[in-house]
Amino acid sequence: MSVLAFLGRNGPASRADLARALGLSPATLSQVTRRLISQGVVEPLYFAPSKGGRPGQMIGLMNDAGRAVGVELAADHLVLVETRLDGQVLNASTEGFDASAPEALEQLASSTKMFLRRGRTKLLGVGVCVPGVVARPDAGEVDAKVLGWKAMPLGARLRRAVNVPVLIENDVKALALAERLFGLGRDHPDFALLTIGRGVGFACVAGGALQRGAGGGAGELAHVVVSTSGQVCACGERGCLEAYVGAAGLVAAGKSAGLLRDGQGVRDLTALAGRGEARAREIFAQAAQRLAHAVAPALAALNPAVLLVAGEGTAAWQHWDTSFRSGLAKRLPAQMRDTPVHISEWDDTSWARGAAALVLATAFDASAPAGKQRLQVLARLHGRS
């Protein structure tokens, strides 16, 4: 697993470099790589230029040695992707979904099974990300007010339907795992992830490990109450942060300002701000200040090396950026005010790709929250049933 993790995060390496980096003897490292090569998981590549000694042959992942399927489960749609070991998306599909319907789980199972039939061999497992709290990804019991779910046994039901390992996780935590494996988090074992869009999400990776908290609820900043008599949130509570800085809150502010009509949304507000409409820009600026006010204490407590920002809302980040950064600078301790803020690349498959990372991380990271599903995923990677 250490060899796979190093190759997955750093790319091809020589046996000598692997042995030094991992603190293994050359004999042990050779034994491990021979086994991985025989199992078709890694492959010998080119010879690196000599630095005076014998040239070392580079070893790299065989990215087609395994695949994972990721499912983004939202209240009104599903996105399914098939990825290689390196996270590259091979296939993708989007369809309508009603999480409140009595047959919701049956539709999810049916859609997943149909998608699996389109894929290639060596499926390692299925990952599903949800906008809710999951105590244990290997068990997959979901509490999600926005879906109307309480103690929903999603993992058990989906495993019975597809007969492969299934891991369930909060969508932002899954995305943080993808950033750690394939994104900007590869270079930072300590980072925080903030997502904006329909809702607000927050996750933290410390020492290379995803922080989940005692019951999987770490990072639930979206539903911290910022005004006890404030706006009603999608979760049913009043005054949550998300009710002000999520898409619904921005649209409500746009309507109150007379900028938006029924049927218009955040894209319309963004377009107005892009054309220089002062009131639209002020709505984004106020939301950014409120968001910075909520995020600053978490950053001060965690002290990440970098803050990554992702989500559908980053399409309008130019209207958030200045106000958000100034808000952080006013509230963070002096020694943390220079914490870098980076915007992650985003597209329609990003959440589902994060779900696939739940499975892929199992092969690369001993701290990945795979629980009882770990051995099943690894057995599939190494060619055993």
What is the pTM (predicted TM-score) of this model? 0.89
347-368 tens-digit pLDDT:
989 999 999 999 998 887 777 8
Per-residue pLDDT tens over the stretch 131-166: 999 999 999 999 998 899 999 999 999 999 999 999
47 vs 14, 37, 56, 86, CA distance in Å?
8, 16, 6, 22
Token couple for 336: 């943390």
Average pLDDT for 179-187: 86
What mean pLDDT do residues 227-246 have? 86
Predicted local confidence at residue 230, as pLDDT? 81
Amino acid at 52: G
Supply the pLDDT for residue 276. 96
3-state SS class at 209: strand
Q: Is the pLDDT of residue 67 over 60?
A: yes
Instruction: Give the whole-angstrom CA distance, residue 199 versus residue 222.
Output: 7
Cβ atoms < 10 Å from Cβ of 156: 14
Query: What value does the mean pLDDT of the chain take?
Result: 90
Measured between alpha carbons, how far is 243 from 279 in angstroms, rounded to an integer? 19
> Can you give the pLDDT at residue 2?
78
Q: Are 92 and 80 in contact (CB under 8 A)?
A: yes
* Concatenated DSSP letters of 236-288: S-BSBTHHHHSHHHHHHHHHHTT---TT--HHHHHHHHHTT-HHHHHHHHHHH
Q: Vertex 164, ends 162 and 166: CA angle to 5°? A: 95
Task: Assign 45 a pLDDT band (cuts: 50, 70, 90).
Answer: confident
pLDDT at 15: 87
- Residue ranges and CATH numbers for the domains of the chain are 2-61 (1.10.10.10), 67-176+348-381 (3.30.420.40), 184-343 (3.30.420.40)
